Structure 1
Amino acid sequence: MSRARVNDEYRGRFADVRCLAVVAAGGAGKTIQAQLYARAGDIPLAWLSLDRSDGSAPRLLVGLAACLDGADGARTTAVRDALRADHTADEVAAILGDSLPPDRRLLVLDECSHVYASEEAASALGVFLEYAPAETQVMLLSRTDVAWPLRRGLIEGSMSVITESVLNFTRDEVRDLVGHSDEADLLHDATGGWAAGVILGARSGFPTVAGMPEVKDFVAYLGTQLLDRLPERERAFLLDSSVAAVMTREVATALAGGEGHALWDWLSAQHLPATTSTGAAITYHSLFRTFLAEQLLARAPARHPLVVRRYATYLASVGRFEEATELLLGSGDMDAAGQVAAQAAFSLYGRADWPTLHRWVEVLGPDIVLANPLLLAASIRALHGTRRFEHVIDLIRRLDQRGGLREATDADPGLLATVAWAMQAEPRVAQRLLRKYRGDYRAEAVSFMLDAATGVTPAAPVLGSDWADVERHITWGLILQGRLSELDRLVPQDGDTAVINPNVIISPVLRGEQAKARALWRRVPPELRTRPQSRFIESFMLMSEGRMGEALATARRAVEDSRKTHFSLTAVYEVYTAYILLNLDRADDAVAMLDGVINGLSNRGETAILEWAQAFLGLAYLRAGRTREAQLILREAVRSMQTAQRRLFLPAAAACLSEAAHQAGDTHESGEMAKLAYHTASLIGSFNGLLEVIRMFPTILEREIARDPADTRWRRLFFSASAVGLTRLVSEPRADQPIYLSVQPFGLERDILFNGDRLNVGRIKIIELAAYLALHPRGVDRTKLQQELFPEASQRNGGNHFRQIIHKFTRATGIALVRQGRNQLAVQDGVWIEAVDVRFEQLLHTTSVVPGPERVQRLGEALALINGRYLESSSLQWAEERRQQIEIMEEEARLELVTLLIEQGDPIAAREECEALLALNRFCDPAYRLLLTVERSVGSESSCLAVYRRAAAALKELGLEPGYARQLLSMSSPALAVHEQA
């Protein structure tokens, strides 16, 4: 019976809120009304019926993911992986909510009182609701009031509450149901409009006395009209069936043995109230089941444990170990519960449901747990998973001493990884345990990380790509070793997938791919960004962007938060904070911080971080003029890094040692360390660290260029000196900036794009304005902007022209320009503006960071952005200057690209690039020299001579000679040499 009044009420509430809490007594019609509302509005429906076990936040989240998932189950897998990767329930709830597409749907959670009873589960549900898209309507059905973590929605206005007053049948609705009669009015008065009473009264007919219903509630009705009228055998079976929410023939035989088939046939024929039958199964309404359970305990309390054991045995036989465990624990049968719980534990591991596991262990007690190796393993996992670190460390020590740990790890090989990770603050102890006991691939992953962090010899990374709960361990080891390409392979390839392991962002940061790093960072769920490790990654990224002040503040937050949580990588964040201080010329503060950290690192055996601290302390000494001290400590750091092949900061440390050795007069060590720095940077695929040191000590570059003038590698380390790069960083779009303008200022196809779509702006002045704004994304002085756009006009006329062009810009783009401060002008809030020329410049700037083939690729990507001259028809002075600057950068980039192609043995591609360069500037002497080099390797004497003639003719117009081309020409063949002499 679809009630339009109630549907309209629900629809009106959802117009103002995203979540509707329906709080009413059992039998009020909450469940059916949710279905009727979805049907009336043709809304896709997702449904999750909760039970007591959903008081566990991990179980709740997996259930939510499953009911919202597609056919591929990807969302459920992602939630399980995130939980197993040691993310908190709130973090995973944010990931799940953020993963939903903005599609219209109704999500109904029935029996929410089970969630409200758990603060952790209620909090996770609240976070999920916060991050779910606005198009998802959520209905929470319960018999109890909304719990506090969710009640915030009432305060914030995102939730509304429906009570019995809305759900109760009105007098008119009762009449529609049973017909216009005095009986309808009597039924309404007797029940107060209570849905279950109205429906049952209308269908079954209440007996009356003096015209008034004699039975006024559901429980009394079931007792007098159903249960008391049954024969003893059938009544006993019906009461026994209360242990199961869904009755089937198999359950009937499990409960009643050989009589089960006959009793099932009888039950199927009864058409019981408050049940739904499909022929193969009968589902009890929770009210009906509660009534039967209460009657079983009241009438046959001694039989209740026997029935529970029979049903639990059935559940275990079909693999439903968790339900069986909960039943047995509730009945107090601890011995049977312990046996089944040991079998159920592995399914809880799969979703990292540590709270449930810890509750089981606590209820079972130490005698049962210690007697079962699987339960003992579960106890260790549960303590670690619920972050009871002191307890788990104490338990591991005791079991290791008494021999119980071997039984546990033999029964559960995956346990050893948890044991070693729990002991990570004492790496020597963790490594001893890894050698002593047997584990699975997870233990290998943790072992690699510990070896990479503490070993004195190279640690070989374990093979694989799907590491799930130990991926962060693998990636941290790869970071320490500078294995950036292997780190890249662990980046989620699907652009819509959340990045729940921020460690992978280190690779694009070090490769100078700031845009890629920022894009990955935006995919990290906000709940995860507040973790200490995430803040460390963010500070790394901010520093690479030149935002030192923000990097320092973020690194300090990482230190503070890690100290509160006793996180084992606190020293990492302290050492990196000191490095940022060094870059801010605060050497004294850096030295003080490093001195305090180094002693502790030595005592704990954290060799990798000790090397970082030594390298940065050596850099501080070097900048302070304490050359001898710098040389000694840098020598120790480089030796240790080199021996263990921890290469992340080895190029920087070796470059610093090269400078220290030079200042100390040790020419040989200085040269060897410079070679090591360059070689290691090439191996890891990033010159980032080496370039940072060279910027501090440019004489390193000068010495290496002078050492071997024929070796062009050092000379070309900073190949594009004309690129401004990081000094003109365009701010990245934020989540609250869904609109972006992109200016394409090159060639005949110049235009402005709005969210990727061309606007077909024909007027050059509008494009000039947009291009200038893109060069100043943080705003520009209004007076200066007017002068730059209309330099020939008077102040008055220029003002009129300026206002007109601002108006036309807004009409063309839909974007307003607003004042900031007294006279600053910028695009309106929520808009991100960028330009292709700035993107070209930034990409060129980052090209110096990477070697070889990757540099070729980046140069090609950058040059592909240019398809003509910059604002070709513009005669504005700033546009002409910018045009000249772009052309110089393009020429430098093409020269570098040709050189690299020649070095890599691709003369055909090098010839094509040379011709493109000469089409840009036919007076480019270096391009002729490179083209002549190409022709000498793949061309003929005639082609070499033709190149030389072109060079001579072009340069003669400028009064110049073709430089080294004459020398190259004479080297190519005696015949050409004779021609040159002639």
Structure 2
Amino acid sequence: MGPSDRSSLDGAGPGAARVIRRKITPPLLPPSVVRRPRVESLLARLIENHRIVCAFASAGAGKTTAVLQAAAQLDRPLAWLSMDATDAAPGRLVVYLEAALAACDPAVVGVGTAALAAKIPHAEAAGLLAEAVEDVPLLLVIDDAERIAHAPEAVAVLHSVAKYLPDVARLVLISRQELPINLGGMGAVPWTGAVGEEDLAFTVDEAMQALDASGRTDIDPVEAIIETGGWVTGVMFEAWRSADHVIGSGGEADPLHGYLSLQILDQLDPAEREFLITTSVLPEVTPAAAEALGAQDATVLLHRLRSRRLPVSWEQDAVAMRCHPRFREYLVQLLARRGEQALRAVHLGNACLLAKEGHLEEAAEEFFTAGHPEGALPFVYPVLERVIERTDFPVAERWLRELAPVRDAAQPELVEAELMLALSREDYGAGIEVADALLRSGRREEVAGRSSRAASLMAWCYLHAGRIEDIRQLLAVADPSPDMDALRHSLRVADDRLADEFPGSGALTGGPLDALVLRADYDLGRLKSLMTIPESPWVVRAAEPWRIGALFATGHLDQAFELYQAVALSGDSGVWLSAVLGPRLMAEVGEADAAWSLLTEGRARIAASGSRMFALLGMLTEAELELILHDDPAAARRVLDRIREDDVSHSFAFVNEPALMLSGLAHLLEGDDRAARDDLAAAVKGMTEGHRRLHLPAAAVFLAEAEWRCGNEDAADAAADLALRSAEEQGSNHVLLDALARFPAVLSRRLDLERRADTPWHGLGRALMVRGVEVGDVLSAAVHGIEFGRRAVLVNGEEVKISLTKSFELLVFLANRSRQEATRQELLEALFDARADESAASYLRQATLRLRKILPDSLEVDRATGLVRLNGRMRVTTESAQLIHLLGQATSLRGADRLRTLLAAFEIADRGTYLSGMRSPWIDERRLYLARLVRDGRLEAAELAFAEGHLKQAGRLAAEVLRQDPFRETAWRLQMRVAHAVGDHDRIVAAYRDCERTLAEIGAEPSSATSQLLADLRP
């Protein structure tokens, strides 16, 4: 996007705007400033002992000076950021924060800007930036923070920085007003310290020293303190005196302004006054900057002003001046009184200066302030693109609105910006309006021919409207490019003829059009590629919805749900994820109410997006929920009829084909087999010819059932084979198994044709049995191994005796392996400690023969390879596998359900020692592994019980953890929290002392977190 030579300055990350040096440079203190050891020490102490220190006080209270003096006492790298009103744009604030931090820690370069490019929300990007600081004990100071107090998103950025800066770093906020940042305690270091008006106020001695240093021995410091309350600026510049007799003097109602008018400006000659007022828009006044604003004899005037007693600071080694904030505010007010024309002229000069220095974003703001948007046109596009990339959408919209009267409506770069803004906001209706406005003016194809990016973005919007012919017209005139390749690839899910006419490879480029490639890969069923996290930060973010979809489609529900929750909590879930996939995911994990709620909320988001495509996909989801949650095929068909009646549904193969599939399923459930076969045959034909495999395994299973019911046995077998092949191509059996669970007879009939006992169909049969689905007599026996407390084998629920211990061990060893098989050498190593002598081999043969005698046909031996496996016609399970399954299942649950599942797992473990009395290398290893899993699970259950208010249960679980692992400090802290919750303060101390004694045995001591908890809980 945009020019490839974007440069950065002063620590800004790659692709970021050039950052004005003075924003990240701490102001210099004038040599005459009076040191205040009391305030310096107070601030230094607060900074060392607290992660955040707030200096909230009125203008002129000496906040910045005090912080600078305190920072000079500390052995910490100083990162500084001075805020301006324009920094309220949260994306811009992240860029500036990165530049400030990079001055002390080069490791943060590019972190924030890359996160913004990946469309990560501003606050989250700021958090990643703060975390990147890691172990650097820097001091970050945000000066003039009140500039963003009115901007909640910018405040959220600062809150995120405050939250995620490491414990070794410190943050100081300097502001004229308190900021609405939630500074609740967290972390090992105390969270917040603060200084205010009373802390910063002059004492009499400090006022005396300051007045003496400035030559004002005529002022009584006691009187000054009494009249001003110790206000630093008031004492130094006598505003309190003017309050008696200067109100209204010099035309000023504000006493301080009256003082500045009579006692400061009136003492200067006209040229000096004019110079100060004209240059007041500049935070830092240099000769070159002043001359750019039209000031004459700037160098001479600056030298003359340096000899005056003014509320300004000077660079030591350069002719550069910074006015005191209150003084500058007054000068800006005087400048505004000259009238709009004069004010705009000064802002225009400043805009030209900023543009010349390469600060294009700030220059653009000044051009717009000056009422001169045409001045921004030569360079605004790359800046505007950056603004959109970091999702500062209100800024981008304002700029485009102000540029509208002076730009060429068909200027490709700005058309691109308008379209990118619309797509970033998922406002496809707005994007279509941009394209249609060009169409009405007869210039759409002209723009598409000049910019393939604009052509691809317009086509993307048209795709959401189902306007295939408009897409064809744009493709015909656009030059080849990676963007166009992505667009062409996406057409494979919509229209086969158009995709054949304009083929695309679908290669990822790291740009925004990659979202189209990923969307197409998902609907084509290329799920393996979506499971791999791409390298580009932008693609990582764009890939998240489709990765969640791929995890869902491949049966990784826990991971899909966890990632979905993380994206949803970030507030950037997107329309498809929240309105289409979200309801299906919630239905799958058993949250029916949440599924319908998301579907209802999603309708509003879809309507706001202006996407006909999303509207149709939302109806598909609704039809699916009617079948899954309500088992109501009639209601599903009513929804599907609405899709069929929509005049653009035929434009989307990836909508039309799943709709036919669901319609066929509804007919099957209602017993209308011929109607089901017709719909399903059409769906499968389209999916197969278009290589759209996402739903093909399910559609083919449903077709196999329909064909069999209609008496077409060969066609039914062919459809079943197609279902298996498409699942293999997809790389997952999950969709196939879901369909077979609905119609297990498809599997049973297919197994009747198999002559071997271990085919992929048998594997599917075992998988269905694990789900509790009956598939007939083809899987003969269910065998279950009892491993905890006692050793036994259950066959179809009846206990059988296995007299030879090694036979039992052989069974459970094979049953607990992923493929339930092992080589002869692996068995000797596991069961006989790698002995390869004749005695061990003979014992293994005896164990095998005894097991076969008790469980006929239980084992298969491949004599050529020496591979021993459990018969695929048996379903063999074990207690330990059940335990691991329950612990894994708990990770996908929440609250009380998660606790219940964990407790069910512990019921198994608590039956006794795993394979008690048996010793083999694999048993010892598995025993330790299971013990660790259970121990970790108990600690998690203890925390859950505490959160649910089950305090006794939490205490018992924590005690059991400590019995097995007395050095688990987290469990000691939980014991302390339980004691506090029941009001037993003695137990709090006792638990801490027990922890202390236990850790002392290994030469350790309680961590700072445990010690802090003791301090917090003690009455």
Task: Say yes or no: does 1:875 pair with 2:784.
Answer: no
Distance verdict in 2 for CA 1:582–1:297, change over 3 Å: closer
Residue 616 (structure 2) aligns with: 571
- Secondary structure of 2:764's counterpart equals coil
1:384 Cα offset (Å): 5.6
Residue 657 (structure 2) aligns with: 611
**After superposition, what is the alpha-carbon deviation per residue over 1:204-259, rounded to whole angstroms, capped at 9, x for unaligned?**
x999999xxx9996655655666555565555444443332223454355446995
1:654 Cα offset (Å): 1.0
CA distance in 1, matches of 2:756, 2:792: 40
CA distance in 2, matches of 1:121, 1:332: 26
Distance verdict in 2 for CA 1:93–1:964, change over 3 Å: closer
Distance verdict in 2 for CA 1:40–1:520, change over 3 Å: farther
Greater shift after overlay, 134-143 or 502-511? 134-143
Task: Say yes or no: does 1:321 pair with 2:364.
Answer: no
Contact 2:286 2:319 in 1 (8 A): yes
Which of 699, 705, 712 pairs up with 1:653?
699
Contact 1:338 1:369 in 2 (8 A): no
Amino acid at match of 1:582: L
1:479 Cα offset (Å): 0.7
1:630 Cα offset (Å): 1.0
- Secondary structure of 2:752's counterpart equals helix
1:633-672 matched pairs, under 5 angstroms: 633-672=679-718
Residue 815 (structure 1) aligns with: none
CA distance in 2, matches of 1:153, 1:949: 68
CA distance in 1, matches of 2:696, 2:426: 35
TM-score by length of 1: 0.66
Task: Say yes or no: does 1:24 pair with 2:58.
Answer: yes
Distance verdict in 2 for CA 1:620–1:322, change over 3 Å: same
Task: Say yes or no: does 1:359 pair with 2:274.
Answer: no
Contact 1:641 1:647 in 2 (8 A): yes
CA distance in 1, matches of 2:40, 2:529: 58
CA distance in 2, matches of 1:11, 1:887: 67
Contact 2:80 2:142 in 1 (8 A): yes
Residue 79 (structure 1) aligns with: 115
Distance verdict in 2 for CA 1:574–1:152, change over 3 Å: farther
Which of 264, 271, 283 pairs up with 1:245?
283
Distance verdict in 2 for CA 1:663–1:471, change over 3 Å: same
Contact 2:448 2:478 in 1 (8 A): yes
Which of 823, 826, 833 pairs up with 1:913?
823
- Secondary structure of 2:56's counterpart equals strand
Task: Say yes or no: does 1:441 pair with 2:477.
Answer: no
Distance verdict in 2 for CA 1:371–1:563, change over 3 Å: closer
TM-score by length of 2: 0.64
1:695 Cα offset (Å): 1.7
Contact 2:492 2:690 in 1 (8 A): no
Contact 1:453 1:477 in 2 (8 A): no
Distance verdict in 2 for CA 1:701–1:381, change over 3 Å: closer
Greater shift after overlay, 324-333 or 244-253? 244-253
Which of 331, 345, 352 pairs up with 2:370?
331
CA distance in 2, matches of 1:32, 1:725: 70
Task: Say yes or no: does 1:505 pair with 2:548.
Answer: yes
Residue 62 (structure 1) aligns with: 95
Distance verdict in 2 for CA 1:78–1:23, change over 3 Å: farther
Residue 169 (structure 1) aligns with: 202
Amino acid at match of 1:81: A
1:51-450 matched pairs, under 5 angstroms: 51-67=84-100, 71-72=106-107, 73-83=109-119, 108-118=141-151, 121=154, 140-143=173-176, 150=180, 164-175=197-208, 177-178=210-211, 183-189=220-226, 191-199=228-236, 219=257, 223=261, 227-228=265-266, 236-248=274-286, 250-252=288-290, 254-255=292-293, 273-277=311-315, 279-280=317-318, 282=320, 284-285=322-323, 286-296=325-335, 304-339=343-378, 341-342=380-381, 344-368=383-407, 370=409, 374-375=413-414, 377-382=416-421, 390-406=429-445, 408=447, 413-429=452-468, 431-432=471-472, 434-436=474-476, 438=478, 441-450=482-491
CA distance in 2, matches of 1:566, 1:966: 59
Which of 580, 600, 606 pairs up with 2:646?
600
Task: Say yes or no: does 1:955 pair with 2:994.
Answer: no
**After superposition, what is the alpha-carbon deviation per residue over 1:169-208, rounded to whole angstroms, capped at 9, x for unaligned?**
2435424645798732233345442222435679xx9999
Task: Say yes or no: does 1:704 pair with 2:750.
Answer: yes
CA distance in 2, matches of 1:243, 1:174: 31
**After superposition, what is the alpha-carbon deviation per residue over 1:567-613, rounded to whole angstroms, capped at 9, x for unaligned?**
63243244234334434461334333333334337546222022112
1:648 Cα offset (Å): 0.6
1:631 Cα offset (Å): 0.6
Contact 1:49 1:110 in 2 (8 A): yes
1:636 Cα offset (Å): 0.8
**Residues paired across the two proteins, number:** 780
- Secondary structure of 2:533's counterpart equals coil
Distance verdict in 2 for CA 1:490–1:427, change over 3 Å: farther
1:298 Cα offset (Å): 5.1
Distance verdict in 2 for CA 1:445–1:888, change over 3 Å: farther
1:656 Cα offset (Å): 1.2
- Secondary structure of 1:275's counterpart equals strand
1:885 Cα offset (Å): 10
Distance verdict in 2 for CA 1:967–1:21, change over 3 Å: closer
CA distance in 2, matches of 1:431, 1:693: 36
CA distance in 1, matches of 2:405, 2:627: 53
**After superposition, what is the alpha-carbon deviation per residue over 1:689-735, rounded to whole angstroms, capped at 9, x for unaligned?**
111111222222222233242484333333756995799xxxxxxxx
Amino acid at match of 2:826: A
1:124 Cα offset (Å): 6.2
Residue 749 (structure 1) aligns with: none
CA distance in 1, matches of 2:400, 2:852: 89
Contact 1:694 1:700 in 2 (8 A): yes
**After superposition, what is the alpha-carbon deviation per residue over 1:141-183, rounded to whole angstroms, capped at 9, x for unaligned?**
444675xxx38889x9x99997645543243542464579873
1:340 Cα offset (Å): 5.1
Distance verdict in 2 for CA 1:871–1:218, change over 3 Å: farther
CA distance in 1, matches of 2:671, 2:91: 56
1:24 Cα offset (Å): 1.9
1:529 Cα offset (Å): 6.7
**After superposition, what is the alpha-carbon deviation per residue over 1:353-374, rounded to whole angstroms, capped at 9, x for unaligned?**
3322221233345354548554
Structure 1, unaligned runs of 5 or more: 728-868, 899-911, 923-942, 973-982
% identity of equivalent residues: 23
Over the aligned positions, Cα root-mean-square deviation in angstroms equals 5.4
- Secondary structure of 1:524's counterpart equals helix
1:653 Cα offset (Å): 0.7
1:669 Cα offset (Å): 1.7
Task: Say yes or no: does 1:582 pair with 2:627.
Answer: yes
1:661 Cα offset (Å): 0.9
Residue 690 (structure 1) aligns with: 736
Contact 1:722 1:889 in 2 (8 A): no
Distance verdict in 2 for CA 1:248–1:878, change over 3 Å: farther
